Amino acid sequence: MIDDVLSDLKGQMSSTAESLKRDLGRIRTGRANPALVEGLLIDYYGAETPLNQLATISAPEARLLVIQPFDQGSVATIEKAIMRSDLGLSAVNDGKVLRVPIPELTEDRRRDLVKQVRKEAENHRISVRNHRRDANDTLKELLAEKEISEDDVRRAHEKIEELTKHAIAQLDDVCKAKEEEVMAV
């Protein structure tokens, strides 16, 4: 019983860390990263479709994204979606592929992005704490149903705290690495 609760908690906390990495990948730094635009929704024949399902996205240079649509008729639609997005990017259309130059970030914009990174990390820390609370509630229910003893609950609480501290430290490491990447000139 307790092992099931702990293994579920480990899985939830590791998925939270992966979610943070994915979410921070969408935050623009000075370098080109396909994750910036791959989740961008494109109106493709009336259906909202993510860009990564409509085109291949690559970063051949540090400051350039190249988007090559599978359907050449969607080039203009993708270009309009990039212009409308809040990324502050513009695309150069040559009829077959889109080239998206990534401009240099100003110092103020870098600071704003660091704030955004910290906010996103805090949201994920809250998620980890919520997972901890849910696991502790499950243990209380098992104790109330007399399926486990109070000693087992105390030992499980200690393991849950260890897992929580480890997960939050992992989130802090990811956040710190992203902050350094954003502030690098």
Domain boundary among 54, 72, 101: 101
CB 27 within 8 A of CB 116: yes
Instruction: Give the pLDDT score at 113.
Output: 87
Q: Based on the domain organization, do 91 and 118 belong to the same domain?
A: no
Q: Based on the domain organization, do 118 and 138 belong to the same domain?
A: yes
Burial 92-101 (b: 16+ CB within 10 A, else e): eeeeebbebe
Helix (H) or strand (E) holding 135: helix 107-144
pLDDT of the chain, 185 residues: tens digit per residue: 888 999 999 999 999 999 999 888 877 777 788 888 888 889 888 889 998 899 999 999 888 999 999 988 889 899 988 888 877 788 899 888 999 988 887 888 888 889 999 999 999 999 999 999 999 999 999 999 988 899 999 999 999 999 999 999 999 999 999 999 888 86
Instruction: Give the pLDDT score at 154.
Output: 93
Backbone phi, then psi, for 104, in 5-degree steps? -65, 140
Give the whole-angstrom CA distance, residue 50 versus residue 20.
19
Give the whole-angstrom CA distance, residue 28 versus residue 38.
13
Q: Based on the domain organization, do 128 and 92 belong to the same domain?
A: no
Domain of residue 18, CATH code: 1.10.132.20
Q: Based on the domain organization, do 79 and 41 belong to the same domain?
A: yes
Domain of residue 85, CATH code: 3.30.1360.40
Greatest CA span in the chain, whole angstroms? Answer: 70
Instruction: Give the pLDDT score at 185.
Output: 65
Number of domains in the chain: 2
Domain that holds residue 16: 2-25+106-183
* 107-144 helix and 2-25 helix, angle to the nearest 10 degrees: 170
Q: Based on the domain organization, do 122 and 97 belong to the same domain?
A: no
Q: Based on the domain organization, do 110 and 87 belong to the same domain?
A: no
* Distances 68 to 87, 131, 176 between C-alpha atoms, Å: 19, 40, 33
**119: Cα separation from own chain's centroid:** 12
| DSSP one-letter string for 53-99 | GTEEEEEEETTEEEEEESSGGGHHHHHHHHHHSTT----EE-SS-EE
Q: Based on the domain organization, do 130 and 171 belong to the same domain?
A: yes
Instruction: Give the pLDDT score at 103.
Output: 81
**Beta-carbon-side half-sphere exposure of residue 46 (alpha carbons within 13 Å):** 0
- pTM value? 0.73
Q: Based on the domain organization, do 20 and 39 belong to the same domain?
A: no
Domain boundary among 58, 81, 101: 101
Q: Based on the domain organization, do 19 and 47 belong to the same domain?
A: no
Q: Based on the domain organization, do 97 and 111 belong to the same domain?
A: no
Instruction: Give the pLDDT score at 26.
Output: 77
Q: Based on the domain organization, do 89 and 146 belong to the same domain?
A: no
Q: Based on the domain organization, do 118 and 96 belong to the same domain?
A: no
Instruction: Give the pLDDT score at 22.
Output: 87
Domain boundary among 54, 84, 101: 101
